[in-house]
Amino acid sequence: MTPRETYPQERQRERTGDRARRAQLEQVTERLEATERRLTQLQNTVRAVAREADVTVSGPCGRCGRVNLLVTDGTLHCPMCGYRRSL
């Protein structure tokens, strides 16, 4: 296969495409960093609320997977699907 001739117009179009992709990548990176900051804030908030409410936050619910299980008064339970088990 012979290398394809690149015309100035095409090179210009490729540069424009690169710029657009770089700008898009920067936007996605900024959104990801903002999401990570927000996630950390929410995790800290959940920990603080759980501590104040004397609730332990456990691992993700194995039945619905939508939320972490909570432990209160020796019972492990899921606030979303209602799964419940004594410890």
Which residues would be at the binding site for Zn ion (CB under 5 A)? 61, 63-64, 78, 80-81, 83
Q: How far is the CB of 77 from Zn ion (least distance, A)?
A: 9
In the bound state with Zn ion, the residue whose beta carbon lies nearer, of 4 and 85, is 85
Write down the least CB distance from residue 65 to Zn ion, Å. Answer: 7
Half-sphere exposure of 4 (CA within 13 A, CB side): 5
Q: Residue 20: count other Cβ atoms within 10 Å of its Cβ.
A: 10
Nearer to Zn ion, 17 or 82 (CB): 82
Give the Cα separation of 58 and 21 in Å (integer): 41
